[in-house]
Structure formats: structure tokens, C-alpha cells
Amino acid sequence: MSKKYFGTDGVRGTVGKDPMTADFAMRLASAAAQVLVPAGGTVVIGKDTRLSGYMFESALEAGFVAAGADVLLIGPLPTPGIARLTQEFDADLGVVISASHNAYFDNGIKFFDRSGSKLSDEIQNKIEEHLKNPAITLESQSLGKAKRIDTARTRYQDFCTASVKTGIDFSGLKVVFDGANGAGYKVGPRALAALGAEVIPIGCSPNGKNINDGCGSTEPDLLQLTVPALRADVGVALDGDGDRIVMVDEHGNLIDGDQLLLILAVARQNLGELKGPVVGTVMSNLGLEKAFQARNIEFRRASVGDRYVLEALKETGGMLGGETSGHMILLDKATTGDGLICALQVLQIMKETGKPLSELAAGMKKYPQTMLNVRTEKRLDLAACSEIQSAVVAAEAELADTGRIVLRASGTEPVIRVMVEGEDHDQVTAIANRLAAVVTESAA
């Protein structure tokens, strides 16, 4: 069944345009309550720092309370923190108001079940069925209640710091932390400081409109300049909702999700703690696959989206997965992707090995990779477009066995992503530009 509202990571769009309106949020809450929250059940609601979060928080609260659910209001906290607190409070549902790495004028709503996991397609379809009906309002005696939880940040902070081995602290490490002016702006620096690190915060002054603006994991240029300028040991950048991470080594070089995945996997292999295959996505760099082959670590590729990485890990018994963009899933530490926990684990490896981040990341040769985003005004069926398929076949023949091509529609934006990678940078760039031109023409 094709979903109308749910994408790869909940419901997302421009604020004020369907579906991101207050009315829709209230109906969505009502529908979700009818599917997932029993009478008298509990819902946890958290958000990032977007200005529109106040509006959606109130609308969701009204929808859930009207449907008979009690609501715990968490306030700004990273997405994985909401997943954790859903479990800790024994709630039936966790809700996050965030558009992740998007600009402030977008927002979104995503859910976690009572186990702290993202919803299955089946459950999402059931919610969409209920969205065809008006929101419900029960009689007064059956309405829910709402209260704000003041201990949320410290609860999640303690959970994160507890993921570091007893006896290890980060004293002697100078860390530049970029919170993307988002949900992790407060808990990130405090967790690092609690473990003994010297913390220099940037991107930690949210005003409702500057989330992901010139900062964070999607725009790490300032972090890359700041780390070597301050002679820091490492830089950490989260995205707006704190479930993505990239890092910067002591020289200012960007360390992406593929490199972090290799660092985490090799460390666990060396300790005899790695279980099952490591899972990446179809967008993971070919160099990562080659590096795992050299170390006899099994590697699987899933569809793009951390929920698909998680599904693959659960199916195969794996414990470690991630995306190039920095969605990192460590199932031995958390139920969902968690940028802050990933950062703490990498810093722990640095302390245990005595190696700088640059040396830990040197085990992977990155193949030249070009990704172009082609904006589309209409829905484009890539598989049914003969012009696009013919162009892909010709490009694959040109690359032979030295590279890969991936074309896919984004689940969060109206774009077609064209990814080409191979051994020769100029060849990769030329092929990507040609394919992007064909997609542009086909979408016109």
C-alpha cells in the first residue's frame, strides 16, 4: 500500500503547507492514538528548536489528550533521547517534532513504538487509514492529561555517559562540539564535560530560525576551521535533531558516517565483540566495502534510511550499521540512531588506543563519489522511464567493474538523487552530470 503522508522518516514538509499544519498535526495525533495508545495510555512528545515546534507541540498535545492519552512534554531533546525516554517512562508511543537536517521553515513528526523503535510500514498504513476520519474527542471523564518533564535532559545525558566503559574518561581531550543550533545544543556539551573533556561549543545558541544554518553535520565548514585553529583534538557535529553525526580530525578533515562505521566495527572486531554483519546502504562508499573485505568483516547494503538499516540489522543479527550521512546505529548501546552516543564511542576508542582520529580513519580509501540532487515538480518513476534506464545502462558499461551508480527518489525532499562513484574523479563527475541532465529533462 502506497502511503500518502509517511516518508522514510515520518511526515515532513514546509510549515503552513499541507500536511504540516496545526489541524493535520491534531488529526495525526488522534489517528496514532487510536492505533497505538490504549485507553489511559501515555505518549512522550519531544522536539528540536524550530520556531514552529511550539505550534505542533500544542496541536499534538490536544489531539492525544482528546483521544484519551496522557502526554509527557519533554521539550528540546535529540530524537534518540525521545526513543530512550519512551522506554524509560514505559510509554506507549514516542513522538518527535523535527525536520532533522532541513532548514527551520520545514518541520516533521515521527514516531517511536513502546520499545523505542520506529514504526513499521504496516502500522503507518493503519494510521493513514484513520487519517481519513476527523479527530475524535472523548467525553470529559475519558480525556487525558498533560504535564512537562523537567528531568528529561539529565535522564538522557546520564544514559549517554553510561555508554562509556567504567574507568574511562575524556580528560586531556579538547573537543569542539557543533550542536547545529538544534536539539542537542545543551545535552551534548554537558555530556562531554561530565566525562572530563574540555568542550568548546559552537552552533549551540538556537533562536528558532538558525537550526542547521551554516552549522551542524550538513554544513561542517566552520567546525573544520575551528578544530585546527584552536588546536583541538577532535570535532563533533550533530544535525538538527541529533540522530546524525560527522566528526572532524585534528587536521580539520571531515570524517563521515562510512569512516565512523569502519572505526567502530574494527574496534569491536579487535575486542572480539562484533556480532553479525555490519550494515550500510546502497549509498555507502565502495571504499568501505573494500576495507571490510580486507578485514574479513561481513558487509550488507540496505535501502537508504536508518529504519531500513535497522530492519536489516534485526534480520541478520547484526549490531552495527549506518549511513554515509551520519545516521549511526549501535544496537549494543541504543535502539535507534544516536549521534551523541556514537561520538562518545569514537572518543572512547581514541582514549583506549591512544590514536588520533586521523589515524583511526586512515584504514579506508574513499572512492571518488559525486551525488547530485535534481529537483522535480512531479513524481518521477525512475524504473518506468526508458530514457533514464538507457542512460544508466550506458554509464554502467563505461564504468565496467570499477564503480557504481545509484539513482533514487528522496524520501524527505522533492528531489532525485544521482550518485556515481568510481576510481577516476573526472569520469565520475562527467557521468553524474550526464545522468542528472537526463533526469532533469525527463522530469520537465
Per-residue pLDDT tens over the stretch 2-27: 689 998 789 999 999 999 999 999 99
The pLDDT of residue 410 is above 90: no
Structure confidence at residue 25 (pLDDT): 98
The pLDDT of residue 292 is above 90: yes
- The CATH number of 369-443, from 3.40.50.620, 3.30.1330.20, 3.30.310.50, 3.30.56.10, is 3.30.310.50
The CATH homologous superfamily of the domain defined by 11-150: Alpha-D-Glucose-1,6-Bisphosphate, subunit A, domain 3 (3.40.120.10)
- The residue ranges of every structural domain in the chain are 11-150, 156-363, 369-443
**Three cell numbers, residue 354:** 591512544
Q: Based on C-alpha coordinates, what's the Rg of the chain? A: 22
> What class is the 156-363 domain?
alpha beta
Q: How confident is the model at residue 300 (pLDDT cuts 50, 70, 90)?
A: very high
The pLDDT of residue 1 is above 60: no
pTM for this model (two decimals): 0.91
Whether residue 142 lies in the annotated active site? no
Structure confidence at residue 305 (pLDDT): 85
CB 111 within 8 A of CB 10: yes
Amino acid code (one letter) for 349: I
Q: Which of 30, 98, 100, 442 is catalytic?
A: 100
Structure confidence at residue 412 (pLDDT): 66
231-264: pLDDT as tens digits: 999 999 999 999 999 999 999 999 999 999 999 9
Whether 369-443 and 156-363 are alike in CATH topology: the answer is no
DSSP letters for 367-422: PPEEEEEEE-SS---GGG-HHHHHHHHHHHHHHTTS-EEEEEE-SSSSEEEEEEE-
How many Cβ atoms are within 10 Å of 224's Cβ, its own excluded? 20
Q: Which of 27-41, 125-139, 178-192, 412-426 has the lowest mean pLDDT?
A: 412-426
